[in-house]
Structure 1
Amino acid sequence: MKFSARNQIKGTIKAIHTGAVNSEVIIEVATDVELVSIITNSSVRTLDLKVGQEAYAVVKASNVMIAVD
């Protein structure tokens, strides 16, 4: 598997919350560090995603915003 995106973060699927059309997939990438992705239910089925499975969060963005209090 090769991607042009440089930000490929390996983790474990912690939860999948399925809605009517989309699913929220939560990947734990480190202890107490999670990334959340909203993808179609069709993609969840095609990738055969399961809780406990290793997966990659692949981030491809032209902008990354930073905020502070």
Structure 2
Amino acid sequence: MTEERIAVLERRLEEVEVRYSFQEQALHDLDGVVRELADALERARHELRQVREELRKNPEDANIPEDEVPPHY
């Protein structure tokens, strides 16, 4: 193998290593985002369960006007 060919391969390897490093960081960042979203989703589910339970216990407090005309009519 010529020195020129070795130099080309070394540059290519370095480029691959740099790309890998950036992808590794991006993966780490995305993992954090996914964890945050999963936590937010779990909190929303918990809150929804609480609201449903409260409505089931006190249906008269639901205050859902089915036939009431909105105020802008």
TM class, shorter-length = under 0.3
**Of Structure 1 and Structure 2, which has the larger fraction of its residues in helix?**
2
**Of Structure 1 and Structure 2, which has the larger fraction of its residues in strand?**
1
Between structure 1 and structure 2, the one with the greater Rg is 2
